[in-house]
Amino acid sequence: MKSEVRELLTEELKDAYSAEKQALRCMQKAVRKASAEELRQGIEMHIEQTQAQIERVEQAMEKMGVRPGRKVCEAMRGLVEEAQHEIEEHDEKGPILDLVIVAGMQRIEHYEIAAYGTDVALAEALGEREVASLLSETLEEEKQTDLKLTEVTKKAIMPEALADDDEGDGESKGGRSGGRRKAA
Ligand SMILES: [Fe+2]
């Protein structure tokens, strides 16, 4: 049975490898659409982290004696597709599009947190300590990224989004202007 658990972990690693590469491309596109400086910096930082995460998955696979192969993470494909679709629905840059980007990214992060949580547990159960430690490092980064996205939303994006009525494209209700912008 142990060999089957091993097999399961190697399949998980192939999946994670595909997931990270897809997430990377998604973030590289999203960062160009982000407005809030803190959000852009956060995405840039996670792009760098993701490059290191891809290398960690490669190292983990090497330790397990497997190659990435052509496995495609279908779940990440769906998440990325949806995020990109939502982003494309908003052609105007600004706080609302920033919120859409965060929403897509947090879904992606949560998927990765779930996957790496399982994978760390599998690696530990198999006594693959180095693999477990590589994946734990990534898991921690994903959790931090999720927290950071929440923080950036609260501090930098949401105040703008709620105060943006008079800058809308004809959707502002009743022409209330001024005053509220600094309210946050
Ligand atoms: Fe990641």
Q: Considering only CA atoms, which of 70, 24, 68, 16 is closest in space to residue 47?
A: 24
Confidence at 169, pLDDT banded by 50, 70, 90: low
Mean pLDDT value of segment 116-144:
98
Q: For the packed helices 95-125 and 37-64, what is the interaxial angle rounded to 10 degrees? A: 20
Give residue-wise pLDDT tens across range 1-31: 899 999 999 999 999 999 999 999 999 999 9
Give residue-wise pLDDT tens across range 26-71: 999 999 999 999 999 999 999 999 999 999 999 999 999 999 889 9
Two tokens at 26? 């998604």
Q: What is the mean pLDDT of the chain?
A: 91
CA of 82 to the centre of ligand 1 (A): 17
Model-level pTM? Answer: 0.87
CA of 40 to the centre of ligand 1 (A): 17
Q: Considering only CA atoms, which of 128, 147, 143, 114 is closest in space to residue 16?
A: 114
Cα-based distances in Å from 174 to 36, 40, 150, 160, 171: 27, 33, 31, 19, 9
Assess whether pLDDT exceeds 50 at residue 179.
no
CA of 155 to the centre of ligand 1 (A): 24
The residue with greater pLDDT, 84 or 169, is 84
CA of 25 to the centre of ligand 1 (A): 11
User: CA 165, 171, 172, 175 torsion: positive or negative?
Assistant: positive
DSSP three-state, residue 122: helix
Q: Considering only CA atoms, which of 27, 64, 70 is closest in space to residue 49?
A: 27
CA of 7 to the centre of ligand 1 (A): 22
